[in-house]
Structure 1
Amino acid sequence: MRFMFLLCILPSVYIVYMPYWCMSLTMATDTRKRVALVTGGGSGIGRATAVRFAELGYSCVVADIDEPSAKETLGMLQTPGLAVQVDVTMATSVEAMVTAAVQHLGRIDCAFNCAGIESAPAKTADQQEDEFDRVMGVNAKGVWLCLKYEIAQMLQQEPVVSDPAKWADKPDVCRFRGARGSIVNASSLAGLVPLAYTSPYCASKFAVLGLTKTAAVEYAKDGIRVNAVCPGPVATPMADRVLELSPPDLRAKQDPKLFPVGRFAAPEEVAEAVCWLCSDACPFTTGEHLKISGGI
């Protein structure tokens, strides 16, 4: 079968552009600095992930509705980056975030859609409608909007491979042929199992998994992978707020001593999983969720 191809020359990298599924392994090593975008990067898991991306050599766009917190995270990074204020519930704000990232850093290789909020604890019949809308707006619609604009950008990007030699001696069927981008969405253990008093939050995190799996199958052949992480209890400011407001029976169930590992996760432990899912280590992994719950 014959294919037309175009040799594209970019700074520090030569890329043979062909349909993704027949990409040539003659691509040169990608020597430029890769770019990661993290929403909710001003604190908690988002901050830890931005820091870890930078440790791995990525330039990082730190996005948060709280701009001072995003700038504080940026100051912790070992590589150049950008702090952006974003309201993930607004399409214009999300689009502006992606545009700023590309204008300043040229491309988005990885995105971690981590921005999220908790719901006020109450049983389903006692929950308020505006609370449901508020939580779904950030946690579900926010992820959908981020996917919408991140994927649109990634579709315009040439596929790259960071280390062609790593895959050169592998059977042809499993050779890594480059990627336009990798996205990880923040779901939760509450997106897999019910958690009393948190119906809006659970609904939003179940929705994130649906969005993840749908986008994954839609763009797999375009070289865009989409996965999710489902952390259990993590030692973050959000967890502190949830515990403080929870009724006694729910708070008792959140005692770290009751968990198999006897503690909450550190944000850095979730960050490691996110960075792995974004890396070239798992090019066949898409549409999956990784539960990080310490045995729960």
Structure 2
Amino acid sequence: MRFAGKNVLVTGAASGIGRAIAILFAREGARVTIGDINAAGLAEAAAMIGDTATPVVYDAEDHASCRALVDAAAREGLDVVCNVAGMLKWGPTEDFAVADFERLLRINTTSVFVICKAALPYLLKSRGNIVNIGSTSGLRGMIYTAGYCASKHAVVGMTTALAAEYAARGVRVNAVCPGHVDTPMTRQTPPSGDLDWDMIRRGMPKLVDGSCAPKDIAEAVAFLASEQARKATGSVLVVDGGQLVS
């Protein structure tokens, strides 16, 4: 098993991609600390994983809560951090509230920085690594998603900057950029109004059955976190069913 004896932190683990990542790491031998604001979903995920899971309810918008989550995960050392927690809100820019833009940045970007910063002292001791969840929206502008794109572009930039800063000190930092993934977050009701659905559909996956399952993203994350990718840092792995293929 690739992660036997390793201590792993996964945020956003109550459902979707985060839950799939936590389950996979646990099956591969890791002790997983799983964090989310959704207490009920977190308890369900912990029950699915079993005794090797430690659930911690936290608020990604609260810096102290983020730091407490990291400290809880690192009580016996910390080897891998997976920053998955995030939110999606989209719609025409003229109608998009500045408050929603700011909240996207707090949850999708600032919380990632706070958790990375808090985790680095532990990861420097273990020579561990970080895998951040970006998005294809962090690589290319997508219609009606100015706020989400901004937040995920920042995550990709943060990932490569941290990789450059900490490579010589033994900490790897990589990102996975999913395309469309079937999760509760992506199943939310679309915004009302006159939307250009033809333009939206142009950004969908190109492969047959191209939409990803959470497990597809989990496999990519586990690869980057494992010894199989020991020479990879600053990598941005796109798993999108051909969404960005022009």
1:48 corresponds to 2:20: yes
Distance (whole Å) between structure 1 residues aligned to residue 132 and residue 69 of structure 2: 17
1:112 partner SS: strand
Residue deviations 1:89-109, cap 9 Å, x none?
Answer: 222111111111122xx0111
Q: Equivalent residues in 2 for 1:67-146 (5 A)? A: 67-78=39-50, 80-103=52-75, 106-123=76-93, 125-146=94-115
Check conservation: 1:88, 1:145, Cα contact below 8 A.
no
1:66 corresponds to 2:35: no
Check conservation: 2:3, 2:226, Cα contact below 8 A.
no
Distance (whole Å) between structure 2 residues aligned to residue 194 and residue 257 of structure 1: 13
Root-mean-square deviation (Å): 2.2
Query: Larger Cα Rg: Structure 1 or Structure 2?
Result: 1
Taking every aligned residue pair, what percent have the same amino acid on both sides? 36
Distance (whole Å) between structure 1 residues aligned to residue 4 and residue 239 of structure 2: 31
1:240 partner SS: coil
Q: Equivalent residues in 2 for 1:242-257 (5 A)? A: 243=190, 248-250=195-197, 253-254=200-201
Residue deviations 1:166-187, cap 9 Å, x none?
Answer: xxxxxxxxxxxxxx11111111
Residue deviations 1:132-158, cap 9 Å, x none?
Answer: 101101001011111111112212x24
Distance (whole Å) between structure 2 residues aligned to residue 31 and residue 192 of structure 1: 30
1:191 corresponds to 2:163: no
Cα pair distance change 1:255/1:82, threshold 3 Å = farther
Distance (whole Å) between structure 1 residues aligned to residue 193 and residue 30 of structure 2: 38
Count of equivalent residues: 242
Deviation at 1:113, TM superposition (A): 0.1
Cα pair distance change 1:247/1:258, threshold 3 Å = farther
Report the counterpart of residue 219 of structure 1 in structure 2: 166
Deviation at 1:244, TM superposition (A): 6.7
1:60 partner SS: strand
2:103 partner SS: helix
Check conservation: 2:21, 2:218, Cα contact below 8 A.
yes
Distance (whole Å) between structure 2 residues aligned to residue 46 and residue 112 of structure 1: 8
Distance (whole Å) between structure 1 residues aligned to residue 204 and residue 108 of structure 2: 29
Q: Aligned letter for 2:183? A: T
Deviation at 1:79, TM superposition (A): 5.1
Cα pair distance change 1:188/1:245, threshold 3 Å = farther
Report the counterpart of residue 266 of structure 1 in structure 2: 213
Report the counterpart of residue 38 of structure 1 in structure 2: 10
Residue deviations 1:80-129, cap 9 Å, x none?
Answer: 120001112222111111111122xx011111100000123122x33211
Distance (whole Å) between structure 2 residues aligned to residue 185 and residue 238 of structure 1: 17
Cα pair distance change 1:256/1:206, threshold 3 Å = closer
1:154 corresponds to 2:123: yes
Report the counterpart of residue 147 of structure 2 in structure 1: 200
Distance (whole Å) between structure 2 residues aligned to residue 251 and residue 239 of structure 1: 18
Distance (whole Å) between structure 2 residues aligned to residue 31 and residue 55 of structure 1: 9
Distance (whole Å) between structure 1 residues aligned to residue 114 and residue 156 of structure 2: 15
Deviation at 1:246, TM superposition (A): 8.1
Q: Aligned letter for 2:107? A: V
Mind listing any 5+ residue stretches in structure 2 that lack a counterpart? none
Check conservation: 1:65, 1:86, Cα contact below 8 A.
yes
Check conservation: 1:243, 1:251, Cα contact below 8 A.
no
Q: Aligned letter for 2:37? A: I
Cα pair distance change 1:246/1:145, threshold 3 Å = farther
Deviation at 1:256, TM superposition (A): 10
